[in-house]
Amino acid sequence: MKLNLKLSLALIAGSMMAVSCGGSGNSSESASSSSAPAAPEPVKEISLEEKYKDDPIFIRGVELMKQNDCPSCHMIERKIVGPSYADVAAKYETTEENVEMLAGRVIAGNVGVWGEIPMPAHPALSEDDAKDLVRYVLLLKK
């Protein structure tokens, strides 16, 4: 009987240690394994400048914009005096016909398409540079 009592006490003590040390039946173990997955990180919206910064059309367009008065009236993603470049890009498909038509408007000036404030003429701008400017603007699609 002494042997059975010692064996019983040893089994009880072992069971208590298993439970207190994280053995089966521990509710904290099941809670940690069923925790909710981490929420996915929100998609970071990048600017059009960042999106196209390495594109040769973008690089050439920025160079031409700096040489001319375009930033006085236009910004890439925000309307100031004239429409944003992104708004122009959204309105017109990038076709050779549109490039030619819009380049002509840049050189000759225009009024009425975007409101009553006229875009001044840029007669000193070459047709090739005007087309490069238009290609740059039309690249800036969101």
Q: Is residue 94 part of a domain?
A: yes
CATH number of the domain enclosing 104 = 1.10.760.10
What total number of domains does the chain contain? 1
Residue 58 lies in a domain: yes
Task: Give just the sign of the alpha carbon dihedral 104, 105, 106, 107.
Answer: positive
pTM of the model: 0.66
| pLDDT above 90 as % of the chain | 59
Angle at 89 between CA 87 and CA 94, to 5 degrees: 165
> Between the ranges 17-26, 52-61, 90-99, where is the mean pLDDT highest?
90-99
Residue 133 lies in a domain: yes
Q: Is residue 37 part of a domain?
A: no
pLDDT mean across residues, the chain: 82
Intra-chain end-to-end CA distance of the chain, in Å: 85
The pLDDT tens digits for 66-88 are 999 999 999 999 999 999 999 99
The pLDDT of residue 94 is above 60: yes
pLDDT at 117 over 90: yes
Domain that holds residue 82: 48-139
Q: Tell me the average pLDDT across 51-68.
A: 91
- pLDDT value at residue 47: 87
Q: What is the mean pLDDT of residues 113-140?
A: 95
